[in-house]
Structures are given as C-alpha cells and as structure tokens.
Structure 1
Amino acid sequence: MSKHLLPEPSRRTLLKRTAAVSALAITGIAGITLPSVAFSAAMTKEERDKMTPDEIIDSFKKGNIRFREGKMQQHDYVAQKQASQHGQFPAAVILSCIDSRAPAEILLDVGIGETFNARVAGNIQNTDILGSMEFACAVAGAKVVLVMGHTACGAVKGAIDHAELGNLTSLLHKIKPAIDKTEYKGERTGSNYDFVDAVAKTNVQMTIEDIRKNSPVLKKLEDEGKIKIVGSMYHLNGGRVEFLA
C-alpha cells in the first residue's frame, strides 16, 4: 500500500502516543534494535469529552484497519488497568455476539477503559442490556452505541433452522423476525451462508430499531445529538468491520 493511502492517525491515537509512559526495544535476529511504544494510558474524561460521536466511530474504523494490517497498537494492559482503577470514561458501548471469533475490543484495537461491552448470542437487545446501555450513555457519558453482528453467525443459522434447546429456544425466537424481513431471492436455508449473512445484517438493523423503540432514554440522547446509535458487520473472512449506513 502506498504511504499516501495509509489512514491518518486519529485524535485518540495521537493522545495515546503523547501520554505513553514507556518505550520498549525489540532486538531482531540480526541484532537490529527497533523502537516500539507501549500504549499505557487509559482514556481520560477530558479525552473522551473532546471527541464527537463521529470521531469515535472514525477511531474504530482506523483501529479495524490496524487490526487487518497487523499493525495494532502495543497495549500495556497492566498499565492501563492501573491507570483506570479509580475511574472509567469509555467512549462507546458495544453490543456484539458471544462468538469467540468476534471480540470487539481486539477487532477495533481499543484498550482497557475505552469501551463498555455486552455480548450475547445473535447480538440481540433485551431489558437488561438496554439498562446497561442507558447507564453507559446517560450516566457514564459514552457517546456511541455500536451493534456489531458478524458473518457465519451460528445463532442466526440456528434461528433459520428452527433449532430448539432449553433457554436457547426463546433467544433464537427473537432473531426470527429478521428472517421474514430479509429480502433474498436465493435459497433461504441455514446451509446457505449468503442468506445467513443477509439475515444477520437485517438482525443488526432491527436490533437498532428495537433499541430506539424500547429505550426512550437512548432515543432522546440520540435525538439531541449527544450520542449515535450505529450498526456494523464483522466479516470473519478478511477481518473487516463494515459500518452500516
């Protein structure tokens, strides 16, 4: 990739570089020493409050580019833990799937103290999750609600295939409306992963609609321009987090 095509560092990245408190040296086989900065600063209230919702979303996009290119920030998690032990000022709350292949913090290259995270099969909303989101935004000051689905989602496939198993049955039932609402002309079965992915995307969009409908608190904050509620799809093949319009 041409150096002219590399993304500009986000405000958050620059702040972390400025606040970094340690530098490490990596010695190669040939004895060449390469400097590397360890990002040890946790997000502060001042840093978070200076950022707009759009800037936070943009920082996630750039973090995902770093993830895909293998150029992730060198996080000093111990130092971040210590820096955030007396307070937290996350910029966003993320609702994603329980799938082990889709850890939002890693995919977006963020550190300890930067995001609230809720994970449940099929990234669906319920009253407990809505209450957590309301705390994150109305009380703790987060400015973005991000719903993240992913390709090849087992929960979506299970809903399509009418899987039944204990409490999982009622969970998958909450995904079923997305099946009927998905416009798709091909084979509408769980074995067709193009259809599964199409339903997963619809499910993200419907979850956002449900958040706005079932949480007057979050809807009001969004209407006032204080937060943004956005959706995304993580592509297991390639690692891209696609932000939905």
Structure 2
Amino acid sequence: MKNIAITKDVQSALTPDSVLQDLLQGNNRFVSGSSQATDNSALINQTTGGQYPKAVVLSCIDSRVPVETVLDQAIGDIFVARVAGNFENVDILGSLEYSCNVAGSKLILVLGHESCGAVKAACDGVELGNITAMLDNIMPAVRKSADEVDGEANSSNKEFVAKTVENNVRLTIDRIREKSKILQEMEDNGEIKIVGGVYNLHTGKVDML
C-alpha cells in the first residue's frame, strides 16, 4: 500500500532515469489492473507542510487520460500541468521551471495521447473564439506531418493524426529546451531529463517516443 509520501531526502536520492522507470512501472500496473492501494488520509497528513514530487507531466486536458491514475501515482508524487494539446507556453514553462528548479523534480514527461481532439482540430484548421489562437501552437506539428504522411492532411486520415500527435510531443520538447535556459542547463548537467510519450486510449499504455 502507498502510505508514505516522498520526502526531500528521498527526492534528492532519485535520478531522472529511476523516476522514468518508476512512472513506466506505474503505467504497467495500471494496464494490468494491479494499481497500488493508497492511504490518502496518511498522504494528506504527510504532505500538508510541503511537497517533493519526483516528476512533472505536461498533458492534455482530455478526461480519458487522468494522469495520476494511468501512471499509478498518488498524492505528493507528481506535478501535472494540463492544456488542450499538451503544448508549452510562458505559463507552462514557468510551471515546469518551478517544478524542477525550485521544487526538485527530476523528470519532465510531455504526454500526448491517441486521437487528441485538439490535434484533430488543428489538422482541420478549426477557427472558433480563443480556440483558434490555442491551436496555433499545434500547427508546426501539423505542417511537419504533412511532409511525412501520404494522403489527406486532415483528421479523416488516422495516420496523419497519429503522426501529428507524435510530432507535437517532439516539437514541444524541442521548444521547452529552446525557450527555457534554466531547464536546458539542468538537463545538460544531468539534473533532469525531458522525455515524451503517447498514451493509447485503447490499451491504457504509455509508449515512449
């Protein structure tokens, strides 16, 4: 049973690779139906005075991808930043910098997912209120996929959508490194890793890119 929260000493002893392995093991437990039991009351009591999460996950807002659940993580284990299409902006970057540089997290996981609605909307050039500006962040991935995938460059082409989901994760990682000197230096120094994966809606599995 998960009933002991991460302490500062425990967090300090973690490595980026060990944290990634831990998250993937958690996803394997979720997929196999063997997620750990959790004593939430104990974790609440232990984390009232502070938190030492091991990772930060940048994910989509999609209700079918509850991040802590699919990675089998509990209170105090991970930060989660969510925006439709799991892209970075100044607020997300600040959140990632806080998670790693201030709060000590060892890993950034950019997590896309199969059949992402925001990605599909970008593929179709949807224009609607503030959604239009939001989708502009995904358009670089759409354009990249158009050069890599045959067939129609819209959401009717499942291969095109899948490639755009992957490209969006990869380009988001590239821009995080480009736009945040803090995080790039931490990664260069081996203090953190920035990685990406895609969640499969059909299986519940996270496949790393």
Q: Do they fold alike, i.e. is TM over 0.5?
A: yes
1:126 matched to 2:89: yes
| Other-structure match for 1:154 | 117
SS at match of 1:239: coil
Cα distance in 2 for residues equivalent to 1:156 and 1:232:
15
Give, in angstroms, the shift of residue 185 of structure 1: 1.7
| Other-structure match for 2:102 | 139
Cα distance in 2 for residues equivalent to 1:61 and 1:214:
27
Cα distance in 2 for residues equivalent to 1:81 and 1:187:
50
Alpha-carbon displacement from aligned partner over 1:186-240 (angstroms, at most 9, x marks no partner): 3322122222111011000000000000000000000011000000100101111
Cα distance in 2 for residues equivalent to 1:164 and 1:153:
17
Q: In structure 2, what residue type is equivalent to 1:96?
A: S
Residue from 192, 209, 219 that aligns with 2:174:
209
| Contact map agreement 2:6 2:77 (CA 8 A) in 1 | yes
Residue from 124, 149, 152 that aligns with 1:184:
149
Q: Structure 2 matches for 1:1-245, cutoff 5 A?
A: 38-182=1-145, 183-244=148-209
Structure 1 length-normalised TM: 0.83
| Contact map agreement 2:2 2:38 (CA 8 A) in 1 | yes
Cα distance in 2 for residues equivalent to 1:111 and 1:194:
34
Cα distance in 1 for residues equivalent to 2:204 and 2:159:
17
Cα distance in 1 for residues equivalent to 2:55 and 2:27:
15
SS at match of 1:181: helix
Give, in angstroms, the shift of residue 39 of structure 1: 1.8
Give, in angstroms, the shift of residue 51 of structure 1: 1.3
| Contact map agreement 2:79 2:99 (CA 8 A) in 1 | yes
Alpha-carbon displacement from aligned partner over 1:119-138 (angstroms, at most 9, x marks no partner): 00000100011011111111
| Other-structure match for 1:12 | none
Instruction: Show structure 1 runs of 4+ deviating over 3 A.
Output: none
Cα distance in 2 for residues equivalent to 1:162 and 1:216:
32
User: Which one has the largest radius of gyration?
Assistant: 1
Give 1 or 2: higher strand fraction: 1
Cα distance in 1 for residues equivalent to 2:136 and 2:95:
22
Cα distance in 2 for residues equivalent to 1:163 and 1:74:
42
Worse overlay, 65-74 or 177-186: 177-186
Q: Which runs of 5+ in 1 are unaligned?
A: 1-37
Counting aligned pairs with the same residue, the percent is 48
Aligned residues: 207
Structure 2 length-normalised TM: 0.97
SS at match of 2:112: strand
Q: In structure 2, what residue type is equivalent to 1:148?
A: L
| Contact map agreement 2:53 2:104 (CA 8 A) in 1 | yes
Cα distance in 2 for residues equivalent to 1:100 and 1:192:
23
State the structure with bigger RCO (CA 8 A, min sep 6), 1 or 2. Answer: 2
Cα distance in 2 for residues equivalent to 1:243 and 1:213:
21
